[in-house]
Amino acid sequence: MTIVPDTKDWTWVLREPCPECGYDATAVERGSFGSRIRDNARTWSVVLGRPAAPVRPDPATWSSVEYACHVRDVHRIFGVRLRSMLEEDAPRFANWDQDETAVEQRYADQDPATVAAELAEAAEDVAAAYDAVPVDDDATWSRSGVRSDGSEFTVDTLGRYHLHDIVHHAWDVRAEVTRAVVEAYDARSAEYAGATTELHGEVLDSLEALAAAVGPGGHVLEIGSGGGRDARALEERGVRVRRTDITPAFVDLLRSQGHEADLLDPLVEDLGGPYDGVWANASLLHVDRADLPTVLLRLAEATRPGGVLALSVKEGDGDVWSTHGSVTAPRRFVLWREDGLVRALTGSGWDVDDVRRRAGLRGETWLMVRATRRP
């Protein structure tokens, strides 16, 4: 079966968020184009290193390699268009048939490692071109160009449109991203558990506030139990905890310690309930941006009215990959700004009671949120 050509005019994403991938062009800061392109390229490096990279999930859907070939060529095409806008007055872009290119260049047959290197090179090239435009140079950002269908872009809107294309295709392969993150923790679960035994500072304060809110005997669903540190602390304060994790090795570790623990993906699997509270400390930051509202809604549905939620995510823009600490394999972190996170919560059945910031160990900032299940 061949891939159905995409004939949509996606320029509407410049005006409103994409309902599929969650990208919001209006929320992107001009000076972040280059860094976001580089972070996105890291996603493809990880995905293309996986065994399933050349395999289509179904006959009518591109494989990761095919998507990556397209993203590589998007960077190349937009690099040409960007430079023409910077060097010429109102250039007209040459037509590019992306579906025809995929067939002619045999995307499905290209080598994943070669594609990864070519994508990284093309991403760096165009990222540097965006970086070279001073953020406050409005005249340059306003220079225009016209696509063959008549759609007019400025340097600024071209960059925002460009970003949507690559973010959307990273969303297309998010299942592989999730598998990569789970496997990273799976391979170093014991090391991670050993490195995260201390509970102190603002995290301890948040845990004690949750325990006080649900009261002795209260039932809490923990998302991302990891090595079990937080569950132990909650139980020491009289709380009943359902331990869960999406990583098999963490579940095995918890069971070996004599605890009941469930392998659970909060995006798709039955959460049970109703619970008096939910504890999600540094776990939902791995959930894809477009999927977090669904997870939050499912957690709300599993929590009694008036029940409480405590969660923490890293503050920032876009997505980043990290190999720091005891887990050396790449893990993706989805960064959030307070306003976007609050919108996701309030739109999913929660009233936000408090948002606090705490400093992390590596210079990052964490958003710590307490919310109440709306009646």
Domain definitions of the chain by residue range: 10-172, 182-373
**Class of the domain covering 182-373:** alpha beta
**CA nearest to 11, candidates 27, 25, 1, 22:** 25
For 228-245, the pLDDT digits (tens) are 999 999 999 999 999 999
> What is the pLDDT at residue 2?
66
> What is the pLDDT at residue 324?
79
Q: What whole-number distance in Å separates Cα of residue 206 and Cα of residue 280? A: 11
Q: What would the two tokens of residue 62 be? A: 């591109």
For 189-233, the pLDDT digits (tens) are 999 999 889 998 999 999 999 999 999 999 999 999 999 999 999
Distances (CA, A) of 115 to 56, 218, 310, 356: 16, 52, 41, 42
Q: Provide the percentage of residues in the chain whose pLDDT is more than 70.
A: 98
In total, the chain counts a number of residues equal to 375
Q: What whole-number distance in Å separates Cα of residue 210 and Cα of residue 218? A: 10
Give the Cβ contact number of residue 262 at 10 Å. Answer: 17
Cβ neighbors of 373 (< 8 A, separation 6 or more) are 300, 303, 304, 305, 306, 307, 308, 309, 349, 350
The answer to whether 328 touches 297, Cβ cutoff 8 Å, is no
CATH topology of domain 10-172: Four Helix Bundle (Hemerythrin (Met), subunit A) (1.20.120)
The answer to whether 338 touches 367, Cβ cutoff 8 Å, is yes
For 333-351, the pLDDT digits (tens) are 999 999 999 999 999 999 9
The answer to whether 220 touches 210, Cβ cutoff 8 Å, is yes
The answer to whether 161 touches 154, Cβ cutoff 8 Å, is no
What value does the mean pLDDT take over residues 354-360? 94
